[in-house]
Amino acid sequence: MPTFATIPCEIMISVLRELGNVRFLLPSLLTCRHVYSCFKENPGVAAEILQRQIPPDIIPYSVAVLEASYLSPRNETSVHELLETLYTQPSKFTERLRTIPVPLLTRMGHIHGVIHDLTTDFASSAWTCLHKDQGSEAAESLVLSPSEYLRFCRAFYRVELYFCLFRCRTSLTSIPFHEHRFFSNQPPWEKEQLASALDFLELKLSRASRDVVAHDVEFGELKIDYITTGMNNYMRQLWLSQGVDFIHRLMSESSYDGKKALLKSAFAADRVDLYEALMTPPETDLNDDVPLSSYTNEDLAALFPPTESQDTDEGPLAGWRVAFNPWPRSAWVMLAHLSALRERAYVFWDLDRIEIYRMRALFNDAPANSELQRAYHDLDEMRESFEERSRIWQKGGSGYWSKNDESRIVWPTQQDGN
């Protein structure tokens, strides 16, 4: 009678290829010696599984993020070479898949799963905002086109790549943020995609950390700001710098103590300020006061020559033009008052979708502030909480504080069991 161990290797490998996620591969290999033997004869199946999980145009970014995480030596030359390969010969990264060990492929699959979750979350929340806007004609449900999905994913991968490359800047201090090769192949509407993804990550971080940062006595003693946005909030930048997996773990953590432990684990970590990098214009742009409205699309194509792999759909460009037409080149990315547009993912949608739902009008009428910006109304309350929590800390108290409620404060006598 035929047994599992007698299944021909060709069939077994065909079965393994159907795994929907590379993280299922290792458990599968442990089920039977025959399965493992078949895999040893066909190790390339691991890369094939990952390629079914991650879109082809995203694979080079996935490999680049992995290599950036382990880059050694980490210096100007190695960083430049990695980015040069990604931007001019991305197929080389795809070719390297078959040499990557299974545990690292599993890590790549995990990061893509995180980015997929963030992509669907951001797209859904942005579409909900558009649907709720006054006069919105957007449909209630959203199905992303392949090109829209790729834009969202690529933006999060670019954020992650920046953090992986520059979080440890000991040997890279001579590289000015705004002059680095990292941004050189990205037209301003793609930088706005990156800025929008960064805003969304900050929003998710703000929501996930709020209960701890706004109520914990120790965090109040440290005066950790839970309201100020962008580069003016040191601790937010530190936590954002830890990358998408850190933020996703914080979002997924259900317990107060777990969230606090995760936030504190980054206190001694390295940081880099991507907001500052995005908001610092190239020197060549500083003396150009010609507004965007004076540029034709052909002018922009001459300024930002398209690459072979560049997105050709004009939806992102159309959305960006609505927002930046009055502004000169030095202000073509990350303007603070456009946060509500970034919240609506205005530079991610296909042109067909923009035209069908008349989204240019929606972009023109977007609210003045995003959810992050609206939190500024609570600044006085935050400062008062610092004073109250510091008073408790100085007396030896710790734990969870709420305004006019100290019932959850732990005092030294309670800790000692007296």
pLDDT in tens, 344-366: 999 999 999 999 988 998 888 88
Q: How confident is the model at residue 179 (pLDDT cuts 50, 70, 90)?
A: very low
Burial (0-12, 13-18, 19+ Cβ within 10 Å), 336: exposed
Kindly state whether residue 66 falls inside one of the protein's structural domains: no
Give me the percent of the chain exceeding a pLDDT of 90.
60
**Do the domain assignments include residue 78?**
no
Same domain, 18 and 130: no
pLDDT value for 136: 56
Are residue 242 and residue 363 in the same domain, yes or no? yes
What pTM did the predictor assign?
A: 0.91
Is 87 inside a domain boundary?
Answer: no
Neighbouring residues of 231: CB distance < 8 A, sequence distance ≥ 6: 237, 273, 275, 276, 279
Residues 338 and 411 in one domain: yes
Exposed, middle or buried, 190 (CB in 10 Å: 0-12/13-18/19+)? buried
| Span 287-292, average pLDDT | 87
Do residues 119 and 26 both lie within one domain? no
Residues 38 and 122 in one domain: no
Reported for 323-327, long-range contacts at CB under 8 A and 24+ positions apart, including other chains, are 323/192, 323/363, 324/188, 324/292, 325/291, 325/292, 325/293, 326/291, 326/292, 326/293, 327/291, 327/292
Residues 16 and 119 placed together within one structural domain of the fold: no
Q: Residues 35-61: pLDDT tens digits?
A: 878 777 787 888 888 998 999 999 999
Instruction: Report yes or no on 310 lying in a domain.
Output: yes
Whether residues 331 and 402 fall in one domain: yes
Task: Give me the pLDDT at residue 196, please.
Answer: 97
Q: Classify 239 as helix, strand or coil.
A: helix
Same domain? For 183 and 42 the reply is no
Number of compact structural domains in the chain: 2
**Domain termination site, one of 34, 53, 72:** 53
Does 172 map to a domain?
no
Range of the domain at 403: 115-139+179-418
Residue 309 and residue 227 share a domain: yes
Single residue among 53, 71, 92 that ends a domain in this structure: 53
Same domain, 48 and 184: no
Tell me: do 15 and 119 sit in the same domain: no
Torsion sign, CA atoms 199, 205, 210, 213: negative
Is 91 part of any domain?
no
Stretch 264-291: mean pLDDT: 85
pLDDT digits 0-9 by tens, 86-120:
999 999 999 999 899 999 999 999 999 999 999 99
162 domain residue, yes or no: no
Looking at the chain, the whole-number percentage of residues with pLDDT higher than 70 is: 92
**Does residue 133 belong to any structural domain of this protein?**
yes
- For residues 290 and 367, state if they share a domain: yes
